[in-house]
Structure 1
Amino acid sequence: MKKWNSIVAFAVGSTVMFSVPTFAYVGLSNTRDINAPIHVHTANQDRVTHVLPTGRIVSPVGLVNGAPNFVTAVVPVGHYVAAMANGATRAQTITLYKQKTLEQVAEIAAYKKGAPKEAPLPTDATNLRDNVIGHQSFFQGMAVGPDHTIYVAGGGGSDVAAFTVQDGNLKLLRRYPLAWQPFPKAQYPYTYQGHHIGKPRLFYPDSIAVGHRGRHLYVTGMLSNSLARINLQTGKTDYLNVGPYPFAVTFADGGKKLVVSLWGGNAVAVVDPETMRLLGTVRVGPPTGPNNTQAGVHPTALAAVPHSPYVFVALANIDRVAEIDSADLRVKGFINDSPYPDAPPGSYPDGLTITEGNLFVANAGNNDVAVYNDQTGKNLGLIPTGWYPTAITHAHHALYIVAAKGLGSGPNVEHQWVGNMMDGLVQRVRLQHLMFHLPAWTQESLQNDGFTPAQQETRHTEDVKTDAFLRKHIHYVVFILRENKTFDEDFGDDQTAGAWADPHLDLYGSQELPNLYHLAHHNTLFVNFMADGEVTAQGHQWTTSASDSDFVQRTWPEYYSGRGLVANPGWTQSLVPGGATGTGGVPLGVDNPYAIYENLSALGKWSNPWISFPARLFLFNDLLSHQVSFEDFGEFVSRSQAGNISKAMDQHLATGFPGWDRMILDTYREKMAVNWLKAHPGSKFPHFIYIWLPDDHTAGRKSCYYTPDYYVANNDYATAKFIHYLSTTPEWRHMVVFLTEDDAQSGADHINAHRTFALAMGPWVKKGYLETSLYSQVNILKTTEAIFGLPPMSQWDQNAGVFSGIWTNHPDFAPTQVLPMQVPVTFNAGKCDHYTLLRREAGATGHYLTANETAWYKEHQTPNGAGLPAPSKADTYTPTTLLKVPGPEQMKQEWIASKGRKSYARVMAYLKAYSAQKDAPVNAYQAGEKE
């Protein structure tokens, strides 16, 4: 069993700008890891109180203990509770705790491939009984039989694993395989959403209910739109189509009904468990269908009211809890789960339990549990939790809550990946004196999120002053998004940043980034700036919608860890299997970086992103509905369920702008964008411009691709040229340019693993200014909304602060400079197959290879290269594999390519020494390990 990670607060004093401008949380102490139960009380509350990247605070109450990364399920088992974690880790786990004390007792670690002989154990964990199993995955569903057998949904393993508890130990009893089931072509998502190259297709179990006599299991299959019934004695399995993306299943009406929530269907299905017949569906959101353009309501967790046909359904995407009647197949009513009147979405209810006359709702977005009377729906108060609570249960007059991200992140000085370095949290809250504590806990929860009336009024008063300035002087906003860098990775060697920079962790400096340094020194550099998400899948939603949906949060660990799901958040990537692996009659297929905009009538065999959209969609939708002109260079936008982009939206998309293609350089992207803007002067010039320049992601040490140094230098030069052009336009006099990264996953940072950088540039921005207030990507959107008078998209941007300290009354309208690249064109070493060389030559001019390029091929092929064999599958580039390389591996490849192995060894030695100095533990399952 692992020893849980320490969660370290910001090492440098930070003003919490999101909600409490009148005071600061300064230098919360570096905490030890939570590897033993803690009874939280006044004297030790700071031990579990932490600031999140958004500036919100978590301060769980009751009894808490650590859990593995991204824990998503919890169930009582006799005198124990079992918690499941399915993070983007090598091993996914079931951990057993004593109910009364939360002492960790045992753990099963499941590896999707072969298992090691034993799981790593800390020296002080000799009393823990650990076990490992191979060829197994877990995914968010657990149930317990009458004999205390624990049944676990196997996700990418397409099975149910059964475990027994013997003398406090977990033992694997049996696995029940489940087969993929076809579903109607007219049923969302219209086509299989698992890896098409994998065989066989996956049922993808994600929830389980045990029959009342313990003879059957009822299991939902997310990729099959199906419910399975398993006879536990014979293993015989029956299947029933229930609808899109079944999420949870529970019994109701005295066991006469099964209710299944449909994550992708705005409905719940009601099934007769004896006959396995679909009795009907109950609509809990607007109608869906191929032409629907609204986001889904996301029916997720279920809680049946005892001795009745009623079932509560969490609608995670719209902050509502529906109550349905499973006998009459109707909606009985809705509970508004918003934290304050007229709040936009953001609570994200996704865990439910009923006990002692109350309904308890785990709100993943607001880091609390809301308490309601289960008869009247009256809101009784809030219970503070850890970050992103995902599940809740009850036993013996206590609640048990699990939070996927625990207490948040600190410095990733141990070479951890921000994607899986955050330990989860298990929390026990006694119900005996709940009503006595609720008033204080409710106030604490609201204060943590910045939701109290006093906080909102203070923030509004401050923002009004800045809003007036912005609307007078700023009429154009440009948002430049790049890829994956921490602050220290790019600015560690910047002496002007002082203690905010650690030169030991600097990978790219003034040699590769002369323009970034120049722009930072002559404009405003945000040194305490956080990425709100951990990885690309989240980052591109945070930068366009001020949130990421529950679907993205719950599924990205599955496809980042290679557990069978197709990447599905609708990122900036080809929507067909492009790169060099498709089909089309050319060597290794069509290579089309523009496919994200082509064939809009349907998305074909691959990702259908509708289910991933947040409730209020994206900034582009707000701009469109409020008639603010804009142009989108490279970012995804909302689509209908069938994959169509509306004609109104399509008019604002630069469809000639290439998507993810490592052979097309940012200098081409910059040229394409500038040419478009030159063709749209005056009134045609858009008031909002969003451009994606991804070259600083690099291709690592991939043979025949450009070196990381050159990719970064090219990105730097392209960025500077684009900004320079903007500074020569008439619109520059009333323009601001924001530049940041989508996430901070590819390097180390001595302050926080979520820390990246941002720049604000323009005539009305302070020059040579370091902004040290705590801000995040959401604040860019909040400031943009303030400039254009747009409404908030979520609770995050509604309660974020407008950038206030970076503006000047003495504008400088001079054009920006462009410094030349100091890195020559260089390529990674290794054998280059002929097709890769063709792609590289084509990409240098923004060209791409299609099935109808016979003349081009003949012109560019050579007799010596024509007969070369295709590269091996392991060496074949695809649009997403390089996006999903874990951060430590990205850092390793880039560091060795840029500075050599000796330098990489030195920086790793420094990180270990730094870790020892801070008394930080080592992750047992460290990201980046080879499988």
Structure 2
Amino acid sequence: MIRAVRTAFSIPAVGLTLVSLLSTAPSAAQPRTQAVPNMGQQITPLAPQGARFEPLNADFPYDPAFPPGQAWLVSHAVTTAVSPDHKTLLIMTSGYNRVSNTHNLPEPPPVTTPPTPPTPTWMANYSMEYIFVYDISTPKPFKKQVLLVPYTYNGLVFDPSGNAFYISGGPSDYVFIANRNSDGTWSNKFTPLPLGHKGVGNGLAVPPGAPPAAINERVSVVPCASGVAISKDGQTLVVANYYNDSISVFTGGLGKWVLYRELDLRPGKTDPSKAGVPGGEYPFWVSIKGSGADAIAYVSSIRDREIVVVKLAGAPELFNPAGRPTIITRIPVKGQPNKMTLNAAQTFLYVAEDQADIVDVIDTAANTVVESIPVIASNVPAALAQYKGANPNSVTLSPDETRLYVTNGNLNCIAVIALSGNNSGDKVIGLIPTGWYPNSVSLSGDGQTVYSVNGKSPTGPNPAWCYGGYGPPGWPTCLDTNEYNPQLTKAGFQSFPLPAQGALDTLTKQVAENNRFSAVSSPEDAAIMEAVRKGTRHVIFIIKENRTYDQILGDLEIGNGDPDLTEFGEQVTPNQHNLARKFVTLDNFLDTAEVSYDGWLWTTSGQAPDVVQRQYPIAYAYRGLSLDSEGTNRSVNVSIPSLADRKAANPFTPNDPDILPGQTNTAAPDGPDNEVNTGYLWDSAFRANLTVRNYGFFIDTVRYNTQNYSIPLLTDPYWAGTRVAYPSSVSLAPYTDLFFRGFDNAFPDYYRFKEWERDFDSAYAKGGLPSLSLVRFMHDHTGNYDTAIEGVNTPETQVADNDYAVGMLIEKISKSIYADDTLIFIIEDDAQDGGDHVDSHRSTAYVAGAYVKQGALVSTQYNTLDFLRTIEEVLGLPPMNLNDALAKPMTDIFNTKPSPWNFSAAPSPMLYNTKLPLPPKPAGLVIPKPAHKASYWVRAMKGMDFESEDRVDPQDFNRILWKGLKGNKPYPASTTGRDLRQNRKELLERYRQSTK
């Protein structure tokens, strides 16, 4: 047996004040209804009678980020837990929660944490996770304490004695124990229980921040402790090892814990004859039935959609030293099993399941599913009942066990399910509004008060989002202002008296209104889309990377743009400016996503599964976890079925058949009837018998920019006979151009266009263009300044390269036989890399073609979901899920009759600084120089990983860009939220004068 080392370490104490931004009587500045514009929803957490809603204020002893009177509020509350005596409520965060010391204030004493704390550019001792301690002995919750924890990932449970609680330590590979002091407070000296994985998980990764070209081999992902559960007698503790596909079993009880055994949940690790059989992967949550020799653990496996049932072997004095925990059975479930709860008698286990939008009821005697309860179907119009998208993610029982409460993350509500007692006919009897993306719900001991926490909030503008320098000693520095998207989304704590049935009916109607359940298209809109659909046979869908509206079009002569926030204006992006002028300027378009991780899912499928919502803030805070949203899980290409084929495609692949076997992508959405992983736009096209061609979507990029096994940077790989793309999507693989390079900042979009053009000319110029073409032009992300070829090695030239590629493709279509029956849709997957004076989600979007209005300014508020719904309408496709079913087609941009159109692409003058084969330089053209040479950017961004989108630290990366492009010019924060559509001529003239 391995004994845990009881090492204590300190966390600084914080203040004890209670800050409530909202109460039962909100002021004009604290509205009862708040819009979530990038989702097309609204939230009303104060709708329940007597409700209170407050942010989670960390109570820093001094203000590190904002002017006096403002506070630092944390993000991504994920789990609640009620003490055995029902007097204390714990709230855990697992989010971004990184704080920059913008005032250069002294930091408190350092915290000793395993492993290394965050980078020194951050307030390391506050850039952590949090446990909020509330007194709930009275109906009005009172905040008593805030504890800082170095790392967490969702798991939180009280010891049955009530004298301690346990925190899953995420990538630290620890469980942290918080003990109660003699005065009733909680000690800020946690006892860590090591899980012993020595920094190694199952998968393939690069250490955060390590430049890929500097390493010769790939390394494993880090571990991640997730769900944690304890037996009723307090003698057995079980931890789900999310990235080791195992559970760790501790025995001995509080103060005496020892790590008894670890059990690998994968079939091939307990039975060699089942090597390569999927099972037990991404274990997330744990519930324990029984105690001592009868203890049984139920473990939710998100990837393999099963509940693994484990006999734990008994209490310490009964253990056979040779014995081990044993898997009894595996219970298959339809959706992705999330949090679970047992009834008091432990005869039934209730499992919240994302993607399926159900709660499964498992009989723990027979270990079978005896009922599946839909979480919303009875509360939506019949036309919507077929669609999924609620993201149910937690479940709790009322004390009398007559009601089940389920948080529906994506619908911002709690579903109330009436239980009949015989596991039949149970159904949702009402929905209760919450804050944005609820993650957990608990009840008071008497069941009369409900407590809910949510992860996010609307962001608003971020004009002070500063990208100042960082780099070698003495390099110019401009600390950011904590306005990065994951920082701007704030958690909330809602509490309210249990509604009576009459009030519940009213609240259900409010949820329906908040989510636009009853919205219908007008006859006029339907007629417009019918005309466009009849006249359109082809859609080309181009996805770009990470820019805001003000960054690109802030200097346009029309629209609500702020030129002072423009980094890549007309001189750099003439084609996008020309697109906006020639067709439609969409100056009120918002990307639904926060970052690229969820962005690729929102943009290609209209939903982000709960597993993605939980992972992205941790990954972007550099606290571990991989980016799984483009077909690789833990950097393993799971679209390839066999180990031999995986190794042929990527020799870095570990030689282990049990590492993520099968072709299930954990982060992928489901199609209709829970058809696993087929919830993307192209899957919908396939179901409608439409044709698809893929250029750059879902490509495994692991072998780009590495020393060993590198895929070369060939400008014409087709004629060289060298494959440069390995698809990471099962359904897209047969339709993918294998010579179109995926995400790689070292490679110009110019040559991506040339490969698209080669394929177009050889296969489609005279006919047969697919119904849906997917094209990835990604160089507006920028990066890899030291390895970029053809001299396209500064932010300006890379964004200009992207702009030119887009322009050339549109020109090609305009001069082809497809000009009259093709629409080209262009979008950024997210807007995380820039400042915007309207909303941090506002971005550019363009549509070109014969049915698009010309020379129009359209300020209708649209978002990514509306964009997708429009493509579906044009192609005659049904919605994929609730989100796009509730979206509105962008009818304001279309005419019902086609108009002649043309487009001529022009390279930015900036590109004449490169070696790209451009048209001859026009006479008299003045070639502007980039703000700095590539060597500047290489030094400034030393150590950053541009191998794939968002592997860099986004905060550091973005503030370097502003400093390098703008020098010491500050952001004009005074323009926040202003409508700048009027008097554009005078505004732009002042801007031009200020830049001389």
Cα–Cα, structure 1 residues 788 and 512, in superposed 2: closer, same or farther, change >3 Å? same
Structure 1 CA distance, aligned partners of 2:618 and 2:781? 22
1:209 lines up with 2:209 in the alignment:
no
Deviates more, 1:258-267 or 1:46-55: 46-55
Structure 1 CA distance, aligned partners of 2:179 and 2:730? 57
How far apart are 1:769 and its partner, in Å? 0.9
Q: Secondary structure at the match of 1:721?
A: helix
In structure 1, the residue matched to 2:31 is: 46
TM-score norm. by structure 2 comes to 0.72
In structure 2, the residue matched to 1:349 is: 392
Deviations 1:626-677 (A, max 9, x none): 2211211101189xxxx98788743321111001211210110111101111
Deviations 1:497-520 (A, max 9, x none): 1xx211221111111111111111
How far apart are 1:811 and its partner, in Å? 3.1
How far apart are 1:236 and its partner, in Å? 1.6
Q: Secondary structure at the match of 1:756?
A: coil
Show the 5 A alignment for 1:583-622: 610-616=665-671, 617-622=679-684
Amino acid in structure 2 at the alignment position of 1:336: P
1:521 to 581, 592, 596: 581
Equivalent residues of 1:54, 1:775 under 8 A apart: no
Structure 2 CA distance, aligned partners of 1:193 and 1:647? 21
1:505 lines up with 2:569 in the alignment:
no
Equivalent residues of 2:77, 2:92 under 8 A apart: yes
Structure 1 CA distance, aligned partners of 2:186 and 2:258? 29
1:260 lines up with 2:315 in the alignment:
no
Amino acid in structure 2 at the alignment position of 1:533: A
In structure 2, the residue matched to 1:234 is: 256
1:89 lines up with 2:105 in the alignment:
no
Deviations 1:753-774 (A, max 9, x none): 1111211111111111111111
Equivalent residues of 1:574, 1:659 under 8 A apart: no
Equivalent residues of 1:161, 1:172 under 8 A apart: no
How far apart are 1:90 and its partner, in Å? 3.0
Equivalent residues of 1:194, 1:223 under 8 A apart: no
Deviations 1:267-307 (A, max 9, x none): 11222344463353343436xxxxxxxxxx21111021221
Deviates more, 1:414-423 or 1:746-755: 414-423
Structure 2 CA distance, aligned partners of 1:180 and 1:462? 61
Structure 2 CA distance, aligned partners of 1:476 and 1:712? 27
Deviations 1:803-828 (A, max 9, x none): 2111124533232022232114558x
1:247 lines up with 2:284 in the alignment:
yes
Structure 2 CA distance, aligned partners of 1:109 and 1:363? 37
Show the 5 A alignment for 1:771-790: 771-790=858-877
1:365 lines up with 2:365 in the alignment:
no
Cα–Cα, structure 1 residues 117 and 521, in superposed 2: closer, same or farther, change >3 Å? closer
2:798 to 706, 711, 724: 711
In structure 2, the residue matched to 1:687 is: 771
Deviations 1:378-417 (A, max 9, x none): 2110000111111112223322111111x32111234211
Q: Secondary structure at the match of 2:171?
A: helix
In structure 2, the residue matched to 1:280 is: 328
Show the 5 A alignment for 1:582-661: 610-616=665-671, 617-636=679-698, 649-661=732-744
Deviations 1:412-469 (A, max 9, x none): 23421113321111111222x43232011100001100113xx2xx326455323321
1:741 to 828, 833, 853: 828
Structure 1 CA distance, aligned partners of 2:206 and 2:653? 21
Equivalent residues of 1:74, 1:393 under 8 A apart: yes
How far apart are 1:109 and its partner, in Å? 12
In structure 2, the residue matched to 1:401 is: 452
1:374 lines up with 2:419 in the alignment:
yes
Q: Which runs of 5 or more structure 2 residues have no equivalent in the other structure?
A: 1-11, 57-73, 101-110, 129-141, 209-216, 266-279, 315-323, 466-482, 638-645, 672-678, 701-725, 919-937, 980-996
1:890 to 951, 957, 970: 957
1:696 to 772, 775, 780: 780
Counting aligned pairs with the same residue, the percent is 23
Show the 5 A alignment for 1:747-826: 747-809=834-896, 811-824=898-911, 826=913
Structure 1 CA distance, aligned partners of 2:233 and 2:240? 19
Structure 2 CA distance, aligned partners of 1:772 and 1:648? 37
Q: Which runs of 5 or more structure 1 residues have no equivalent in the other structure?
A: 5-33, 93-107, 122-126, 184-188, 287-296, 578-591, 828-840, 846-870, 919-931
Equivalent residues of 2:204, 2:653 under 8 A apart: no
1:410 to 446, 460, 464: 460
Amino acid in structure 2 at the alignment position of 1:517: H
Deviations 1:355-396 (A, max 9, x none): 131000000111100000133412110000111111112223
In structure 2, the residue matched to 1:557 is: 617
Equivalent residues of 1:90, 1:111 under 8 A apart: no
2:374 to 326, 330, 336: 336
Equivalent residues of 2:463, 2:565 under 8 A apart: no
Equivalent residues of 1:575, 1:606 under 8 A apart: no
How far apart are 1:235 and its partner, in Å? 3.3
How far apart are 1:875 and its partner, in Å? 4.2
Equivalent residues of 1:252, 1:310 under 8 A apart: no
How far apart are 1:112 and its partner, in Å? 6.0
Structure 2 CA distance, aligned partners of 1:509 and 1:368? 42
Cα–Cα, structure 1 residues 383 and 392, in superposed 2: closer, same or farther, change >3 Å? same
Cα–Cα, structure 1 residues 299 and 358, in superposed 2: closer, same or farther, change >3 Å? same
Structure 1 CA distance, aligned partners of 2:654 and 2:173? 32
Deviations 1:224-259 (A, max 9, x none): 221212234333212223322211111336884322
Equivalent residues of 1:119, 1:131 under 8 A apart: no
Amino acid in structure 2 at the alignment position of 1:332: V
Q: Secondary structure at the match of 1:731?
A: coil
1:79 to 81, 87, 96: 87
2:349 to 311, 315, 320: 311
Amino acid in structure 1 at the alignment position of 2:860: S
Cα–Cα, structure 1 residues 478 and 916, in superposed 2: closer, same or farther, change >3 Å? closer
User: What CA RMSD, in Å, does the superposition of the two structures yield over aligned residues?
Assistant: 4.0
How far apart are 1:544 and its partner, in Å? 1.0
1:476 lines up with 2:526 in the alignment:
no
2:193 to 165, 169, 176: 176
Structure 2 CA distance, aligned partners of 1:3 and 1:826? 54
Equivalent residues of 1:624, 1:649 under 8 A apart: no
Equivalent residues of 2:837, 2:976 under 8 A apart: no
How far apart are 1:262 and its partner, in Å? 1.3
Deviations 1:564-594 (A, max 9, x none): 32322226999679xxxxxxxxxxxxxx9x9
Equivalent residues of 1:575, 1:603 under 8 A apart: no
Equivalent residues of 2:155, 2:168 under 8 A apart: yes
1:536 lines up with 2:599 in the alignment:
no
Q: Secondary structure at the match of 1:784?
A: helix
Deviations 1:26-71 (A, max 9, x none): xxxxxxxx94153335877724522331211111132111122111
Cα–Cα, structure 1 residues 369 and 812, in superposed 2: closer, same or farther, change >3 Å? same
Cα–Cα, structure 1 residues 873 and 806, in superposed 2: closer, same or farther, change >3 Å? closer
Amino acid in structure 2 at the alignment position of 1:653: T
Equivalent residues of 2:461, 2:837 under 8 A apart: yes
In structure 2, the residue matched to 1:324 is: 362
Deviates more, 1:250-259 or 1:805-814: 250-259
Q: Secondary structure at the match of 2:238?
A: strand
Equivalent residues of 1:602, 1:644 under 8 A apart: no
Cα–Cα, structure 1 residues 150 and 715, in superposed 2: closer, same or farther, change >3 Å? same
Equivalent residues of 2:597, 2:629 under 8 A apart: yes
1:225 lines up with 2:245 in the alignment:
yes
Structure 1 CA distance, aligned partners of 2:691 and 2:684? 11
